[in-house]
Amino acid sequence: MFRRRLTALVCSVAAIGLLATGCGDSGSGSSTAEKGTGKVTFWSFVKGSDEVAKAFNRTHPDIKVTFEAVPSGQEYYSKLTNAVKAGTAPDAAVVEYPQLPEFATQGKLETLSDSLGPLVKDHFPKSVRQLVELGGQTWGVPRDAAPLMLYYRNDFFKSHRISVPKTWDAYRSMTAQVKKADPKARGGVLYTDNPGLLTALAWQAGSQWFGTEKESWKVSLDDAPSRKVADYWGDLARKDLVTSVSSLDPFWTSVQQNRTVAYVCASWCAGAQQATVADQKGKWSVAPVPTWDGKPASAMYGGSSFVIPKGAKNSGAAEEFIKWITTDPAGMKAWVSSGTSSMFPADPKLLPVTKAAFPTDYFGGQDVYAVGSKSYAAVRPGWTWGPVMGTTNTAIVDQLPKVAQGKVKLFDVLTGSQRATVKDMERRGMKVAP
């Protein structure tokens, strides 16, 4: 049974059906929270978080933010979960978009609807705003977006007279041309350890893996757009037209060794590549991600938000801090001041800040943010992350190496993840529409 608590917060009927433990209270109610002053404990694994906290403290004498570095990935989310259970949660914390619904549905977050909800509605496009809203409530404030882009070796393409693809049909032809021009080179990547790009490509194609229907969740990892994407990329992998490789060092090594000359990634790859493959300066360009019909369409591969965990001792001051680091130009400048970063702000009005901090010489003077802006504007709205993405992603990752080996079809991986996801949701007491 879902517990319905009568608080100042009025939960929608839909939200009650979606949440595993009921809706969260609106705040801690402490005197410091009401005044927005005092001490704030801040957990984050995002690069530059320490400098951001220092910059905030220099300009906000009434609030003292103490930054604590935490590990990334599942280790971090387990740590945050345990802290909430133990009553030792930080006042502000980072949560990536895919993980946010899980924390919200399990009652691990304070709702921000009354405090920062209006800010979210005023500053962020619908496509990213929907990633922090669930059941009619606002649970986080977006920090960055991660629109898809195509990265390609302009020198390789020019020397072999290969056109930059605008459609996925043309992309297939490009990968064949790359392999013919250099048998060791490939024009794309299918990651064997990371479902994020596959998910983004399904999103771009029009899939909606999760949604809501009255008081139930809808799960559709095996819908028609997802099948189209899975069949397409699975075929590229079987024909050895793309590299099957893990998303960390092996991938960047393949770029360094000229074995990957084109790939789809998000905006953050511009900074990552510049820092990792510095000796290929001037050889790379970016372009809009190909689409199925040639019309602009995009999705996001990554991105994070900031939340107030359940039980935070100073939510009022945490709200002031979160507002500054997500929507204030000075806060955004602090994020990109600690090193090379191609961070794309979720708030479009802050684009000039990040753009000014990113050098253009690596990409031959090209304005990569102009490409990113068009991609961000083309992100398909309506995408919702699921409430058990850890289970969903694990089920996919466990089978991806077999796709690369030709033992499993990529679409069968999605159907298997669909079954695992529904089973886990039902085990947790969530209603799932048939």
Query: Tens of pLDDT along 90-143?
Result: 999 999 999 999 999 999 999 999 999 999 999 999 999 999 999 899 999 999
Average pLDDT, the chain: 91
Q: For 70, how many CA atoms within 13 A lie in the half-sphere containing its CB?
A: 25
pTM for the whole thing? 0.91
Look at residue 8 and tell me whether its pLDDT is greater than 50: no
CATH numbers and ranges of domains, the chain: 13-145+302-357 (3.40.190.10), 148-299+388-427 (3.40.190.10)
Look at residue 19 in the predicted model and tell me its pLDDT.
55
Q: Check whether 425 has a pLDDT greater than 90.
A: yes
Percentage above 90 pLDDT, the chain: 87
- Rounded Cα distance, 422 and 424, in Å: 5
Task: Report pLDDT digits (tens) over 14-38.
Answer: 343 455 444 444 343 333 445 589 9
Across 249-262, average pLDDT: 96
Q: What is the pLDDT of residue 213?
A: 86
pLDDT tens digit string along 377-395? 999 999 999 999 999 999 9
Report pLDDT digits (tens) over 137-157. Answer: 999 999 999 999 999 999 999
Average pLDDT for 303-323:
97
Q: CA nearest 262: which of 397, 118, 143, 163?
A: 163
The gap from C-alpha 161 to its chain's centroid, in whole angstroms, comes to 34
What was the pLDDT predicted at 222? 95
Q: What is the mean pLDDT of residues 256-267?
A: 97
pLDDT for the residue 34: 53
- Which position has the higher pLDDT, 244 or 9? 244
Q: What is the pLDDT of residue 130?
A: 94
**Does the structure show a pLDDT above 80 at 286?**
yes
Work out the average pLDDT over 303-313. Answer: 97
Confidence check: pLDDT of 282 > 70: yes
